[in-house]
Structure 1
Amino acid sequence: MHKQTHIFLFLVIAILVSSCGKFEKIRKLTDEKKKYAAAVNYYKKGEFDKAGILLEEIVPIMKGGDDQEMATFYQAYCDYHTGNYQMANFRFKKFAEVFARSEYAEEAIYMSAYSLYKDSPQFNLDQSGTLTAINELQNYINNYPDSKFREESSNLIKQLRKKLERKAYEKAKLYYKTSPFNVATLKSAVIEITNFQRDYPDSDYNEEMAFLKVMSQYELAKSTVEHKQKERYDEAVLFYQALVDKYPKSDYLKRAEKFYDISMKESDRIAKLEAEYKAALEKEKSNTSKVVGAGSNQ
């Protein structure tokens, strides 16, 4: 059994050495056409790394003709298939510029945008690349409304927007989680939730966002300075009413009702204190006027 394993490994190594040796011999060829033929052969066999290396060496020295056009096109695809999406985006875009009349020009423009889609980062990272991918895909749809890639491009844009949506959702939640008793953070949480509701009105996260908005506003009112409390409790009440109106059967309603009840009571309490204070001021003002009036009559 061990002997058979050793023989198998020896054969694999021999094949690899032979293959590498053959590839290095091809790289040393000075005949441009033979080297290109070898690159195409590697490409069709799916050995994109080897095809890419050969094309990298010969494309700059190729002059005109169909070979240069196809070599440039294959080179862009080699970058794509080996995961070098930024370079693929560049090469596809360059191909469409240089060979604007090519039958592959439209496909190249689509692939330049698709390469950016593939390069889009995870939702928790910076999403500049995602925004760029969306813009390029949308530009492609606008410029080629009847393209066979139109529907796929629209679906790709939806997927990328879902990523932006998830990023915005997590950001809004993070503000509340970071410091639920910090006034500045709570204000930011309410702002981010409001922005999310505006930017993603059809999101599946909006029911939870509506609840978090009530809770964040309540915590903000409770933690804020006294002269701003009533206004902020009143806003918590409005946010609760918006939650009820839009999601009358929400599982969050029972929890949100607690914040609503306290906000109503606190708002009423503060309103009564303000009314009593105002009445006391008016009474004091009235008494002062009477004293001043009596003094002037003496």
Structure 2
Amino acid sequence: MFTNYQKSVFLSVGLLIMIGVTACGPSMETPKTLDGTEAELTKQAQAYYAKGEYEKALGYFLYIKDHFPRGSSAGLSRFYAGECYFALKRYEEAAAEYTSFRDFFPNDPMAAEAQYKLGVSRFKDALGPERDQTDLNEAVVELQTVIDKYPDNAEMVEKAKTKILEVQDKLAEHEYLVARFYRIDGRYEASNARLRYLTEHYTQTDIMPDALLMLGENYLKLKNQEFAKEAFWRVTQEYPSSKSTETARKHLEKLGATNIPAPVLTPTPSEIVEPASTPTPDETVATPPAGGFREGYVVLVREQKISINLIRADGIREGMLLDVYQGEQLVGSIRLTDVQDGFSVGEIISLAPGASIAEDDRVVVRP
């Protein structure tokens, strides 16, 4: 029989072994031995990398990093280990290597690029089915560091600014979708809390006019006409070419507003949807399948990207085709590209002539 002390010792040793195995996980790919000098191994690693053989290159770079920690290739091996992981879409491990390079070689000419790639890795690592808003916010922090710490590197600063806007678009889209779900449930105050945060923190994102429009419509439901009018005015004044402007103008007219700015309806090239294929006239009107099929609705339309309320728990997967209906009218079809935790995203693959997909349209999974 073991004493309690012996049991605790065995447990501690077991935990240490487990921690040790976990900690050395990424370096398990390092070859046990490679013949050649540091310079020769580095040259071979770079050759594999140039040919796109990232697994082989990674093994070499990790070996060089571990066996020549103070060598002339110490920085390069860390940076390119990160590049290999990034190319292999192993973003968490890429982030670890970029962080290591940045911390050990903060003044290296490649430090700004490593910092930028660290931010991009955080961004990409957060875009899986369980999108984590914390990771997206961390991506913004890392990208902002490029701007703050390396202001003289114009190329990386410009890339960081562009990527920050892309990350913020994702954060704003998440807030909008949550706000819309609250609105559908009749929880207008909760919806507006999300929308106010969005309109205060993500002012440069494309979804701003849609968010302001929903904010105003929520205020109408809450019988607060003054706040509603303020939100609608912002849409018409700040986003005159938005598709939301005409709806905002109609609300203002009903509220008795005057001198409403005229809309600018000329579409930009990015707003013009060119469907991959167009259904024949016989396909544009159809009776939706009766019972037994999974159905949902359109939550958000952003150019050719359509967000719906169905998720993986509903049995849907990437690549599935769904038909979109307005009443009994078949208006188009989409293919799912990203099934996430609270919603899914698809791309338009066909539209009926003259038709467009709108929020609240019904989606039906094809059998």
User: TM-score interval w.r.t. the shorter chain?
Assistant: 0.5 to 0.7
Of 105, 110, 120, which aligns to 1:114?
Answer: 120
Specify the alignment match of 2:161 in structure 1.
Answer: 154
1:125 partner letter = R
Q: CA separation in 1, counterparts of 2:129 and 2:211?
A: 18
The 8 Å contact of residues 39 and 51 in structure 1, kept in 2 or not, is answered as yes
Return closer, same or farther for 1:206/1:99 CA change in 2, 3 Å cut-off: closer
Specify the alignment match of 1:77 in structure 2.
Answer: 83
Give the C-alpha shift of residue 254 in structure 1.
7.4
The 8 Å contact of residues 42 and 51 in structure 1, kept in 2 or not, is answered as yes
Return closer, same or farther for 1:28/1:206 CA change in 2, 3 Å cut-off: closer
Give the C-alpha shift of residue 127 in structure 1.
1.5
Map 1:218-257 → 2, pairs under 5 A: 218-220=220-222, 233=223, 235=224, 237-243=225-231, 245-246=233-234, 247=236, 250-253=245-248, 256=251
The 8 Å contact of residues 175 and 188 in structure 1, kept in 2 or not, is answered as yes
Q: Where does structure 2 lack aligned partners over 5 or more consecutive residues?
A: 1-30, 257-367
Return closer, same or farther for 1:186/1:259 CA change in 2, 3 Å cut-off: farther
Specify the alignment match of 2:135 in structure 1.
Answer: 129
The answer to whether structure 1 residue 175 and structure 2 residue 175 are counterparts is no
Q: CA separation in 2, counterparts of 1:176 and 1:145?
A: 43
Q: CA separation in 1, counterparts of 2:115 and 2:207?
A: 34
Specify the alignment match of 1:196 in structure 2.
Answer: 198
3-state secondary structure, aligned to 2:73: helix
Specify the alignment match of 1:21 in structure 2.
Answer: none
The 8 Å contact of residues 123 and 166 in structure 1, kept in 2 or not, is answered as no
The 8 Å contact of residues 77 and 88 in structure 1, kept in 2 or not, is answered as yes
Specify the alignment match of 2:148 in structure 1.
Answer: 142
The 8 Å contact of residues 115 and 143 in structure 2, kept in 1 or not, is answered as no
2:169 partner letter = K
Specify the alignment match of 1:229 in structure 2.
Answer: none
The answer to whether structure 1 residue 66 and structure 2 residue 59 are counterparts is no
Q: CA separation in 1, counterparts of 2:178 and 2:149?
A: 34
Provide Cα deviations, 1:169-225, integer angstroms capped at 9, x if missing partner.
112111111x23xxxx222123323333333445544444344334434444xxxxx
Return closer, same or farther for 1:145/1:152 CA change in 2, 3 Å cut-off: same
The answer to whether structure 1 residue 50 and structure 2 residue 50 are counterparts is no
Q: Where does structure 1 lack aligned partners over 5 or more consecutive residues?
A: 1-26, 221-232, 262-298
Return the structure number with greater helix share. 1
Which structure's CA Rg is the greater one?
Answer: 1
Q: Percent of aligned positions with the same letter in both sequences? A: 22
The 8 Å contact of residues 43 and 51 in structure 1, kept in 2 or not, is answered as yes
CA RMSD of aligned residues (A): 3.3
Return closer, same or farther for 1:192/1:32 CA change in 2, 3 Å cut-off: same
Return closer, same or farther for 1:60/1:134 CA change in 2, 3 Å cut-off: same
